[in-house]
Amino acid sequence: MSITIEEAKSGADLTEILDLPLRLHAADPGYVAPLRPLVLRRLDPRNPFFRDAQLRLFRARRGRETVGTISLLLDGRHDRHSGERAAFFGFFECERDPEAARALFGAVSERALALGATSLRGPRNVTRVEDIGLLVEGYGSRPPMLAGHHPPYYRELVEAEGFSKRYDMLAYDTPLVDAAGRRRELPEALRRKADAVSLPGLEVRRVAVHRLSRDMEIAHAVFTEAYRGVPEVVPMSRAEFVNLGRAFVALASPRLLQIATVRGEPAAFAACFPELNEAFAAARGRLLPLGWARVLGALRRVRTASFKLIGVVPAFRSTGLHALLVRHVVDGLFAAGYERLEASLIHEDNAAMRHIVESAGCVPYRRYRVYERPLGGNR
């Protein structure tokens, strides 16, 4: 029976697309179903990201059964920032069915080419900082929040369609306690750097709920400057940054969110959150009727913290300020009872960020790959 490709046009179509991975990965202990309300929030046309981006969702059907899904994303901000005309595929889920995969990639390639794109890149679902890349190492572990989980045969399906590596993203982790449950100290070199910080007018403090709007402005200013030269990172608007972060800030302990200013000007920030996938796993993707209760109960048992962002503006990168922020965050982790620190996802060519997490004792435990293939006559 042949494959047909259909674009999602209704809420029922979207539901069927989002339900497919629940069926495909039901027996995989490493898979954590994303909470449906959070996925729908990202896909909401009112998401500030879509002021300058277009997303289309497709499914492959064999007869009446959905056997694969994919999305096509055009990101205007990315194209203006990079000078490229790239299209991105995401939401890629597929049975072990090369014909279905070929039809999915053929459909999005044809549409992307018609819209003027010169290459197809991915996986990337929506923004650049969530659900990026295809898992290629670390299948036996559970994914960190804002990252996916894919069976090994997905790699075979993608590479069989002519995609090759563009870059990898790494997830790191380290235990915070030893086998006896005692606190593991930070590496001596990092402690020395933290102790040596001497910046007149420096203030390091927790994010404060009563001034959250101002603190998010500071974090956004730091993020924009600190990540300006990082490969593949496109500056976010303030509205997009706030929209992405607000839901997670609400679930984080303020002691894990650190802001640094020098004479009142933004200098650095660090954002660490409870590893929400440890709690989301209990909901199995749905909050109703009992998902909320399961998540809330599981949140109290989360013992992993996820270090998502740390940024230092260029003027203060050689001062050891990053080490001081790491120490403040780790002190907060111990006080809150966490036992493991996870840090993800980090571009393999981001030497500065890799140095920070590796100097804190972290080692890679998962690797995600972003693929690319040219469109048109260059394929």
Residue 336: pLDDT band (50, 70, 90) is confident
Question: Angle 11-24/36-43 helices, nearest 10 degrees?
Answer: 130
For 142-198, the pLDDT digits (tens) are 999 989 999 999 999 999 999 999 999 999 999 999 988 899 988 999 999 999 999
Looking at residue 181, what is its pLDDT? 86
Cα distances (Å, whole numbers) of residue 131 to 184, 305, 314: 31, 18, 28
Q: Which residue has the higher pLDDT, 242 or 217?
A: 217
**Least confident segment among 131-135, 228-232, 235-239:** 228-232
Superfamily of domain 174-367: Gcn5-related N-acetyltransferase (GNAT) (3.40.630.30)
> 77-125 pLDDT, tens per residue?
899 888 899 999 999 999 999 999 999 999 999 999 999 999 999 999 9
Q: Angle, to 10 degrees, between the axis of helix 212-226 and the axis of helix 238-249? A: 120
In this prediction, residues 308-330 reach a mean pLDDT of 90
Which residues are bridge partners to 94 per DSSP? 68
Per-chain mean pLDDT for the chain: 89
Position with higher pLDDT, 211 vs 10: 10
H or E stretch covering 5: strand 3-7
What is the structure's pLDDT at 232?
75
Domains 3-170+370-378 and 174-367 belong to one CATH topology: yes
Per-residue pLDDT at 11 exceeds 80: yes
**229, pLDDT greater than 80:** no
How far is the C-alpha of 245 from the C-alpha of 247, rounded, in Å? 6
**Any idea what the Cα angle at residue 171 is, between residues 362 and 355, rounded to 5°?**
45
Of 277 and 212, the one with more pLDDT: 277
Q: State what percent of residues in the chain have pLDDT above 90.
A: 57
Distance between alpha carbon 264 and the CA centroid of its chain, in Å? Answer: 30
pLDDT confidence band for 223 (50 / 70 / 90):
confident
What is the pLDDT at residue 335? 87
Q: Radius of gyration (Cα) for the chain, nearest Å?
A: 21
Per-domain residue ranges of the chain: 3-170+370-378, 174-367
**Average pLDDT over every residue of 274-303:** 74
**Average pLDDT estimate for 3-20:** 94
Bridge-based pairing of strands 86-94 and 119-122 is parallel
Rounded to an integer, the average pLDDT of 262-282 is 87
Q: pTM (2 decimals)? A: 0.91
Cα pseudo-dihedral 90, 35, 357, 331, rounded to 10: 170
SS3 286: coil
Whether the CB-CB separation of 70 and 92 falls below 8 Å is answered with yes
> Is the CB of residue 273 less than 8 Å from the CB of residue 305?
yes
- HSE toward the beta carbon, residue 146, CA cutoff 13 A: 26
Report the distance separating Cα 38 and Cα 175, nearest Å. 29
Each residue's pLDDT tens digit, 37-75: 889 989 999 998 899 999 999 999 999 899 999 999 999
Give pLDDT, residue 276. 84
**Amino acid of residue 367:** R
Better pLDDT: 138 or 257: 138
d(CA 145, CA 274): 9
Both tokens assigned to 46: 């009112």
- The whole-number average pLDDT for the span 354-379 is 89
Pick the CATH number of 3-170+370-378 from 3.10.20.30, 3.30.750.200, 3.40.630.30, 3.30.360.10: 3.40.630.30
Q: Is the pLDDT of residue 379 over 50?
A: no
Write down the pLDDT at residue 36.
85
139 contacts 374 by C-beta, under 8 angstroms: no
